[in-house]
């Protein structure tokens, strides 16, 4: 259910015109498909889109869940991520990401 909700939100971001501070299409094409890494170097997923969440520019990432039970789409605020060469690097560790995903499942 949560994956479907997040997927619907991602579709809304795609369908929204890029005015109002949205990322221009050229910038989107550069980061879509980039791998996402946690601060401790663990690869956690891949960028699938960009948009705005709660007024903050964000990347939408497909993130793998623990124990291999599929993936989910998550919004990652710009304040938690930087572009480094050919990847997005988060300011939080993979352990913290796992905690947040587990908390969200409850």
Where residue 68 sits, what CATH number does that domain have? 2.30.30.240
In this predicted structure, what is the pLDDT of residue 101? 81
Q: What is the mean pLDDT of each run of 10 residues along the chain (106 residues)?
A: 39 36 62 96 95 90 73 90 94 91 74
The domain of 74 spans: 2-105
In this predicted structure, what is the pLDDT of residue 30? 86
Cα–Cα distance, 29 to 9 (Å, whole number): 19
Quote the number of domains for the chain.
1
In this predicted structure, what is the pLDDT of residue 103? 80
In this predicted structure, what is the pLDDT of residue 102? 81
Largest CA distance in the chain: 40
In this predicted structure, what is the pLDDT of residue 100? 85
Cα separations in angstroms, 44 against 16, 63, 65, 89, 97: 27, 6, 9, 10, 9
* Full-model pTM: 0.69
């Amino acid at each position: 259910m949560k994956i479907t909700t997040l997927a619907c939100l991602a579709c809304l971001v795609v369908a929204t015109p890029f005015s109002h501070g949205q990322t221009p299409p050229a910038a989107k094409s550069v980061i879509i498909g980039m791998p996402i890494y946690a601060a401790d170097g663990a690869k956690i997923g891949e960028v699938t889109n960009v948009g705005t969440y709660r007024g903050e520019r964000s990347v939408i990432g497909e993130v793998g869940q623990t124990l291999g039970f599929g993936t989910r789409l998550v919004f990652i605020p710009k304040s938690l991520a930087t572009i480094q060469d050919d990847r997005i690097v988060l300011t939080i560790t993979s352990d913290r990401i796992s905690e947040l995903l587990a908390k969200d499942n409850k």
